A and B are shown apart, each in its own frame.
Chain A
Amino acid sequence: GENVEQHPSTLSVQEGDSAVIKCTYSDSASNYFPWYKQELGKRPQLIIDIRSNVGEKKDQRIAVTLNKTAKHFSLHITETQPEDSAVYFCAAPTSGTYKYIFGTGTRLKVLA
């Protein structure tokens, strides 16, 4: 069945440093890879996504890279700021179904 593994579960970085979160997926038919951010007490919200026909996508300080051969994709946050502190989730919806399975989340702390 579908499986999405996310690492690390917690990550602390100094303000201004970069943060990288990695997810691996099991279904080779997956073709859409989103990242969601959830601030404390709030709902998850999409921050960036990538389709399988590209290897990288950037949006200001965040980027997602995809390695379809290895079945993993990563979130990169550069020049981290305190407001980046949150829980980040990856997902890998299974192509052909509408199941939308999330990773277990990464709690990012940006230390001032």
Chain B
Amino acid sequence: AQSVSQHNHHVILSEAASLELGCNYSYGGTVNLFWYVQYPGQHLQLLLKYFSGDPLVKGIKGFEAEFIKSKFSFNLRKPSVQWSDTAEYFCAVTFGGSGNTGKLIFGQGTTLQVKP
């Protein structure tokens, strides 16, 4: 079955530390990949997305992600986190090519806590 998995459920970092959040999916075909952030009390915001082309994608707020097809992974990275990055992070995937329904399936989410 098609699924999305985030390995880290709760991450605690100090400011200026580097961040990497894992995301894997199970599907052998075409995928579109997304990372969203949800700040406390706010709605989901898109950080970045990958459809095709350069597998290294740069997003907003200094985030980037790399699509590694052979590993079915799309890990999110940031070289130096800030206290304001404290939030919930979700990896999401659409499965299939042009004939798919386009429904977005989410991973379990990772809570990031950055200590000042």
Task: Say whether A associates with B.
Answer: no
